Structures are given as C-alpha cells and as structure tokens.
C-alpha cells in the first residue's frame, strides 16, 4: 500500500476505534434509502444480456448502506465502466453486517444462482470480523475458503482489503492486516489494499457515522477500483 494508503488506513482505524460500539458495519436494521438520487442523472444505457457479469460480494461497504438505488458501489461501478467503453453488468451481492463466516455460507448460493458464470468477483469482507474482535485466523480461513471456491470455478477475483482499528492491539493488527495481501498473492488475485483509501477522514465523502462512504465517497472508491476491474475483464479494457 502506498504511503497515502497507510495514512487513510490509520485515519479509518482511529474512527472505527471511536465508533466500535456499533459492533458491525451497517448492522442496523433496514436503513432507509437515501433520497439523494439526482433527477437529472444521465440515463444508463441498456446492458446486453451477454455482457460480462461482475459480482460485487461483500458487506455494507458494497451493499450501498443508506444510499439510493444508483449511488452504491455496484451501480456506480457499472456506470464508470460504461463511460470507459467497457460494457459489463455489475451485480450487487453486498449484505450489510456480513462477516466472513456469513459470506462463506452464502457464496455458493450466489454463484449457483447467477444468470451466467461471472467474469469477475469483487470480494470485500472482513471489516465486521474486525469490529467484533473475531480471531484473525478465522477471518483468514473463511476468506481462504471463498477464494479457493472461486479458483475451483475458475472465476477471477479482485480482493478489496480492510485494516484493523488501533485499539485491537498490535498483535491483532499484525495478523489481520496481513490477510489480504498474503491471500491475494496465494490465489493470484488482484488486490485493492484498502477499500476506503482516499475517502476516510473527509467529511464530505462520508455518511454521518464516519464509517460508510456517501455517494461521493463511493465515486472515489470506484475511481480506484475501475481500472483493476477493466484489466480483469475479457475483451477491450
């Protein structure tokens, strides 16, 4: 991770330490959707039925916590790809509050029920494990199992990382923070080291809880992810 990335990670870790009584990212009951959708937003071109499928599989940071239908990671990523001339369908498979254990349980179901074999899976889980103080070894084992399942199905992966809050202690942080780069290397997966890089610590990019990005913050995340997604997809881009 670049120096700027570590700075963002430290800021995020400090914020999480202050907000840790929330217990989990986006675990609140059915948050109301934002009404921030712009009425004059550009119309999204129809996606061909045979377009490559990208599944965004994660927790509230993927699910679009408290955001409108067009403001979450999946719709913004799909729109960004289209603007770059890359036609792909991005499916939102994020569930607020999911731990890696919960994700491991539902991954097979999501893959088996996809309309077509995914061209790419974005995998972003672990933040809720950290907030709940779940043993980092369990987090690693669950992510490892999911990556193994995706490899078995010959589905490329883009792994988005998370960092441990400082109050978890240096021993936990050392074990937890190493999970993402080490598993990415093991499975030859693309890696975006910290999902909220360049977003945390900027009030204009975050919701009031200071943990989840608002629509503008998601746009920044997408700007970082889109090039990696394009590189992983077949065809142009």
Q: Domain for residue 8, yes or no?
A: yes
Q: Three-state SS for 81?
A: helix
Q: Domain for residue 216, yes or no?
A: yes
CATH code for the domain of 181: 3.40.50.1110
Looking at 2-11, 111-120, 182-191, which range is the least confident one?
A: 2-11
* pLDDT of 128 over the 60 cut: yes
Q: Domain for residue 40, yes or no?
A: no
Mean per-residue pLDDT, 125-138: 96
pLDDT bucket at 214, cuts 50 / 70 / 90: very high
pLDDT 10s digits, 15-65: 554 344 334 555 433 333 333 434 333 445 688 888 999 999 999 999 999
Residues 6+ apart with CB under 8 A from 124: 56, 57, 58, 59, 61, 62, 94, 159, 160, 162, 195
> Is residue 27 among the annotated active site residues?
no
Q: Domain for residue 31, yes or no?
A: no
Strand 89-94 versus strand 120-124 pairing type: unpaired
* pLDDT of 182 over the 90 cut: yes
Q: Domain for residue 154, yes or no?
A: yes
> Is residue 212 among the annotated active site residues?
yes
Q: Domain for residue 32, yes or no?
A: no
Residue 188, by phi and psi: left (phi above 0), alpha (psi -120 to 50) or beta?
Answer: left
Looking at 87-96, 119-128, 130-139, 192-201, which range is the least confident one?
A: 192-201
Q: Domain for residue 77, yes or no?
A: yes
* pLDDT of 180 over the 70 cut: yes
| Domain limits for position 176 | 3-26+48-232
Question: What is the value of pTM for the model shown?
Answer: 0.84
Q: Domain for residue 182, yes or no?
A: yes
> Is residue 144 among the annotated active site residues?
no
Mean per-residue pLDDT, 178-205: 95
Query: Domain total for the chain?
Result: 1
How many Å apart are CA 205 and CA 223, to the nearest integer? 13
The catalytic residue among 60, 96, 98, 129 is 60
* pLDDT of 11 over the 60 cut: no
Share of the chain above pLDDT 90, in %: 73
């Amino acid at each position: 991770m670049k120096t700027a990335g570590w700075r963002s990670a430290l800021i995020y870790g400090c914020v999480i330490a202050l907000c840790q009584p929330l217990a989990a990212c986006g675990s609140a009951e059915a948050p109301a959707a934002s009404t921030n959708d712009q009425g004059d937003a550009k119309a999204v071109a129809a996606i061909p039925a045979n377009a490559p499928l990208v599944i965004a599989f994660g927790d509230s940071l993927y699910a679009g916590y408290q955001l409108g239908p067009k403001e979450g990671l999946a719709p913004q990523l799909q729109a960004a790809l289209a603007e770059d001339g890359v036609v792909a369908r991005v499916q939102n498979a994020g569930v607020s509050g999911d731990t890696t254990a919960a994700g491991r349980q539902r991954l097979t179901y999501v893959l088996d029920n996809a309309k077509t074999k995914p061209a790419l899976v974005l995998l972003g889980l672990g933040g809720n494990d950290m907030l709940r103080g779940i043993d980092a070894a369990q987090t690693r084992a669950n992510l490892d199992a999911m990556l193994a399942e995706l490899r078995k199905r010959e589905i490329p992966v883009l792994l988005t990382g998370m960092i441990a809050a400082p109050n978890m202690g240096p021993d936990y942080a050392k074990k937890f923070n190493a999970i993402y780069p080490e598993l990415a290397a093991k499975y030859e997966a693309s890696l975006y080291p910290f999902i909220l890089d360049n977003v945390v610590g900027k009030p204009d990019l975050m919701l009031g809880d200071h943990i989840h990005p608002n629509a503008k913050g998601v746009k920044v995340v997408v700007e970082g992810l889109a090039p990696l997604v394009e590189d992983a997809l077949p065809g142009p881009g």
